[in-house]
Amino acid sequence: MVVDIVQELKRANPNLVYVCDPVLGDHGSMYVPQNLYPVYKNKVVPVADIITPNQFEAELLTGKNISSQKDAVEVMDLLHAMGPDTVVITSSDLPPRLGDRFLVSLGSQRHVRPDGSRTTQRVRIEVPKVDAVFVGTGDLFAAMLLAWTHHYPNDLKTACEKTFSVMHHVIQRTISYAHELAGPGRRPSPPQLELRMIQSKADIEDPAIVTEATVIS
């Protein structure tokens, strides 16, 4: 159904951008029915312009394991070959250079030059880990990546820095508020950890950059 709708909308507006978060699983196990996997791989991903898999989902979709940055680049190239021009692996098990309190994310964006040749920009970004479980971060990430790649269509580095910085500000504000509600020494409950979206309006619109991306080859 989603594929049919995307194709119909793109016939009406060829410039439409479709972001797909291929929600299949994490940490080595699937949390959707097995029969959804070929639908994502063969039908949904090919019509997407941007995809935001985690490492497990990227490996599952390409059939290739990621154990190095080189592997991650090859996996992103394989995902490009399936259709999407922009790929962001939102989290990975690669060793962070900033220490084990960080997560490594990687992105890749291919462009067609006026002469028809292709060029690809790839970035690596290390983001601080957060010891809490939130609902809706994947949706917020996909929405922010769509917005910032629209503002910076040929600059994945800046689009990622803006996107990840928004995530940082929203999550930090949410944690502060949740701890305030829970009281000293008490772990916040899921309702208290609901993302503080309205309160983060200014950060969503114009985030201070707190996470820098590195261009990689």
Q: Which member of 85, 100, 115, 139 is catalytic?
A: 139
Q: Give the closest residue to 196 by CA, choosing from 210, 175, 180.
A: 175
Nearest in space to 207 (alpha carbons), one of 173, 163, 171, 174: 163
Q: What angle do CA 175, 176, 177 make, to 5 degrees?
A: 90
The answer to whether the beta carbons of residues 115 and 124 sit under 8 Å apart is no
Helix (H, G, I), strand (E, B) or coil at 217: coil
Cα–Cα distance, 64 to 61 (Å, whole number): 8
Q: Which amino acid is at 107?
A: G
State the Cα–Cα distance between residues 217 and 69, nearest whole angstrom.
Answer: 10
Select from 189, 147, 153 the least CA-distant residue to 167. Answer: 147
**Known catalytic residue at 139:** yes
**Is 167 in contact with 142 (CB distance < 8 Å)?**
no
Between CA 155 and CA 160 the distance in angstroms is 9
> Which amino acids are annotated catalytic?
139
